[in-house]
């Protein structure tokens, strides 16, 4: 999409939100007793210009009624200075559309107190559908203050100003989001000139630019789907408002290339790419496409080098490279990590948040606690000096000079080049690859759905009410064709449920198939040829049904895998562990090492595993290991010889209708496990239970 369509997109998003959220049932209105947000702005002269922009945008009525809003309110001095910077003298010189952009950039549909604002980006985008970047600093009086978008300060004395329908934070400037494409934004940064030259020479920069930002062919119906799930919970979901495209790139500055790799030119970078990729793709070394005159060929080493640095999704922010707030991961046992496909076909990168002190490496030389890394591996299998440090990712807000958040993507500085080389393939990725389903489909992250909303609050899920206001976050269903490489067939729905604490799902969120579902999707690639086990993590519940699973490389002719999967049976069912789920009243985490070992052998022989021991559910103050919950488990869907350069698919088809249209199957997380991990003998080191 070209930039001329940006305002059209904003209008579409606004209209769809109006249809979904602006006219709720009367039961959702507040009983108003004080100032509303619109009144707050109107009643204070210092905000009169911003209040006028809100009114011209037609948002004053919305801000005078129900809702949960955060407003970053620029005073008249800030707005006047901003106008002067654009060569304007009055707000009257702005169009209504420009006032709409100005107003929506400062408004969020979720309440954020100062204490909620952690470094990175806020979990909910502004009403323009753009991220709000957060850092912290000290003001002239020594107070700790929040900085937004690297330049605008929330005023300490007036922060957290409460109104009936939200919080107002007065700020000392006007917030803006860049309308530059990712390619243009990177090209404007001279500190990454060699990478920019490589993005241009390989054609990947042009590909990103040509892809645009918005799928103009997608039209949302906005229709609600009301359904019953879990423990008789009534919920509603809608299709996504828009279908956005996005990319994320990892780049190394010119100075780091020179200091670490002695690379000072495009040709030097090409030679480095040859060194890294010729051993991985030896069959291409003698091809014409391999040389420096064919950099745009997919078989060229430099093309592969740049493609591997590029993700086919907008991850939104530095703190979203792994699951938001580390939720669902016991960080004193393991590090949160996520896996993402790259533009280099059949490859992935591993993103990790280093939280576990025991895995810092020998002498803490292989990582900095709290930092985020790409393709790092230090764990119980690769301890001490045997691990792989990977590349450290810099927070975008740490760059005081250049913006990193473009329209449709962002770029990160990394302190080392990334490569799908022998170490990455054979060490980093020779492991149990666990992927939350919300990360498998790029559109879920690009369109800001993953982990959306306030997980500490549940919807009104009484037996008669469906929450159509989505005041605490949204559930989505995906029409066929919305998710790439996914076919939604049958008379059913494919739904993403937003996270809620207390749920039996790894990060509180999950995918479910409902009704007479028949869903087929391509799974992420394995890094090397060999035998692999494919496992599904899910929560067994009485309301769930029975599904037949199919697997194979021919999407139109997949093979059924074993008997249908009955999701009503948990680990304490007589057909699995029965009474042996506990021992003398003790749960798994209280077993002796010998008891744990025997438990794992028993389950392995049955084709099951307990839920991830390093994952948890919480009611707020507690943490219950997944391994201690009978309902959370993993099942082996199939074991197969798989090739690294081949696409594979899973199909999930309903074979039971006992629950009527609410018959469902849950997809929480997927595991790809090589034989080197699952195939150890009884006398060898067992696969860990994390």
Tell me 119's DSSP state.
Answer: S
How does residue 461 score in pLDDT terms, banded at 50, 70 and 90?
A: low
Specify the pLDDT at position 528: 98
Specify the pLDDT at position 5: 38
The CA distance from 103 to 52, in Å, is 9
Any idea of the CA torsion for 44, 46, 50, 54, to the nearest 10 degrees? 10
User: In 172-237, at which residue ranges do the beta strands (DSSP E only) sit?
Assistant: 225-229, 233-237
Specify the pLDDT at position 20: 33
The tokens describing 638, both together, are 């199939």
* Residue 600, C-beta contacts closer than 8 angstroms, at least 6 positions apart: 609, 610, 686, 687, 689
pLDDT tens figures, 369-426: 999 999 999 999 998 889 999 999 999 988 989 999 999 999 999 999 999 999 999 9
pLDDT of 367 higher than 80: yes
Number of domains composing the chain:
1
Flag whether 38 is in a domain: yes
Flag whether 50 is in a domain: yes
Phi-psi region of 200 (alpha: psi -120 to 50; beta: other; left: phi over 0): alpha
Domain that holds residue 127: 3-171
SS3 71: strand
The CA distance from 654 to 488, in Å, is 12
| Contact criterion met (CB below 8 Å) for 634 and 480 | no
The CA distance from 185 to 585, in Å, is 60
pLDDT tens figures, 50-105: 999 999 999 999 999 877 899 999 999 999 999 999 999 999 999 999 999 999 99
| Contact criterion met (CB below 8 Å) for 163 and 37 | yes
* Residue 368, C-beta contacts closer than 8 angstroms, at least 6 positions apart: 354, 360, 392
Taking residue 297's Cβ as centre, other Cβ atoms within 10 Å add up to: 19
Q: How many helices (DSSP H) and strands (DSSP E) are in the chain? A: 16, 33
Q: What is the CATH number of the domain that holds 107?
A: 2.30.180.10
Flag whether 48 is in a domain: yes
The CA distance from 584 to 570, in Å, is 19
The CA distance from 21 to 37, in Å, is 17
Specify the pLDDT at position 458: 86
Partners of 654 in the β-ladder:
547
The CA distance from 171 to 221, in Å, is 37
Specify the pLDDT at position 469: 82
SS3 310: strand
pLDDT exceeding 90 applies to what percent of the chain? 84
pLDDT tens figures, 579-593: 999 999 999 999 999
Partners of 513 in the β-ladder:
494, 665
Specify the pLDDT at position 188: 97
The tokens describing 156, both together, are 């300490």
SS3 582: coil
Average pLDDT of every residue of the chain: 92
How does residue 261 score in pLDDT terms, banded at 50, 70 and 90?
A: very high
pLDDT of 660 higher than 70: no
Name the one residue in this structure whose structure tokens are 């807000």: 397
Taking residue 401's Cβ as centre, other Cβ atoms within 10 Å add up to: 8
């Amino acid at each position: 999409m070209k930039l001329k369509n940006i305002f059209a997109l904003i209008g579409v998003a606004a209209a769809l939100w109006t249809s979904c959220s602006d006219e709720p049932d009367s039961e959702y209105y507040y009983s108003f007793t004080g100032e509303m947000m619109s009144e707050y702005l109107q009643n204070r002269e210092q905000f009169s210009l911003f209040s006028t922009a809100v009114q011209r945008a037609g948002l004053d009525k919305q801000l005078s009624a129900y809702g949960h809003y955060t407003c970053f309110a620029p005073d008249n001095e800030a707005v006047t200075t901003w106008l002067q910077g654009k060569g304007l003298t009055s707000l009257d010189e702005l169009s209504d559309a420009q006032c709409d952009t100005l107003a929506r950039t400062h408004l969020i549909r979720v309440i954020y107190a100062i204490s909620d604002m952690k470094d990175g980006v806020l979990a909910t985008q502004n009403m323009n559908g753009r991220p709000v970047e957060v850092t912290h600093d000290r003001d002239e009086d020594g107070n700790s203050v929040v900085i937004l978008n690297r330049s605008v300060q929330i005023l300490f004395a007036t922060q957290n100003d409460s109104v009936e329908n939200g919080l107002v934070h007065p700020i000392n400037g006007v917030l803006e989001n860049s309308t530059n494409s990712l390619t243009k934004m990177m090209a404007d940064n001279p500190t990454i000139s060699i990478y920019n030259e490589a993005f241009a020479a390989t054609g990947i920069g042009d590909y990103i630019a040509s892809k645009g930002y918005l799928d103009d062919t997608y039209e949302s119906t906005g229709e609600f789907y009301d359904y019953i799930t879990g423990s008789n919970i009534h919920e509603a979901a809608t299709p996504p408002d828009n279908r956005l495209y996005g990319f994320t790139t990892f780049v190394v500055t010119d100075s780091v290339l020179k200091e670490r790799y002695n690379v000072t030119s495009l040709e030097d970078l090409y030679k480095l790419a040859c060194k890294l990729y010729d051993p991985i793709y030896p069959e291409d070394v003698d091809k014409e496409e391999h040389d420096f005159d064919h950099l745009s060929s997919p078989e060229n080493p430099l093309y592969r080098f740049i493609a591997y640095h590029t993700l086919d999704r907008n991850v939104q922010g530095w703190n979203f490279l792994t699951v938001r707030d580390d939720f669902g991961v016991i960080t004193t046992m393991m590090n949160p990590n996520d896996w993402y496909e790259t533009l280099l076909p059949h490859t992935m990168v591993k993103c990790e948040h280093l939280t576990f002190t025991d895995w810092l490496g020998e002498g803490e030389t292989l990582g900095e606690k709290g930092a985020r890394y790409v393709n790092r591996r230090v764990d119980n299998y690769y301890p001490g000096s045997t691990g792989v440090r990977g590349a450290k990712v810099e927070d975008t807000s740490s760059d005081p000079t250049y913006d990193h958040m473009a329209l449709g993507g962002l770029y990160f500085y990394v302190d080392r080049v990334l490569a799908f080389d022998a170490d990455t393939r054979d060490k980093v990725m020779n492991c149990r690859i666990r992927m939350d389903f919300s990360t498998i489909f790029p559109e879920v992250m690009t369109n800001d759905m993953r982990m959306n909303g306030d997980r500490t609050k549940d919807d009104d899920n009484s037996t008669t009410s469906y929450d159509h206001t989505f005041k605490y976050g949204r559930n989505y269903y995906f029409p066929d064709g919305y998710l790439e490489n996914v076919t939604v067939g049958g008379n059913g729905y494919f739904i993403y449920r937003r996270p809620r604490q207390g749920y039996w799902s790894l990060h509180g969120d999950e995918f479910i198939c409902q009704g007479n579902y028949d869903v087929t999707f391509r799974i992420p690639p394995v890094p090397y040829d060999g035998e692999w086990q494919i496992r599904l993590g899910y929560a067994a519940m009485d309301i769930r049904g029975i599904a037949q699973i199919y697997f194979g490389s021919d999407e139109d002719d997949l093979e059924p895998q074993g008997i249908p999967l009955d999701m009503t049976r948990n680990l304490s069912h007589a057909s699995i562990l029965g009474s042996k789920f506990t021992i003398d009243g003790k749960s798994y985490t209280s077993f002796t090492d010998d008891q744990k070992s025997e438990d794992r052998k028993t389950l392995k022989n049955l084709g099951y595993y307990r839920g991830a021991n390093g994952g948890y559910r919480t009611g707020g103050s507690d943490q219950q290991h997944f391994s201690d919950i009978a309902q959370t488990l993993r099942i082996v869907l199939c074991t197969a010889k798989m090739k690294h350069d081949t696409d594979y698919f899973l199909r999930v088809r309903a074979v039971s209708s006992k629950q009527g249209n609410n018959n469902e199957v849950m997809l929480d997380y997927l595991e790809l496990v090589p034989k080197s991990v699952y195939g150890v003998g009884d006398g060898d080191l067992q696969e860990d239970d994390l």
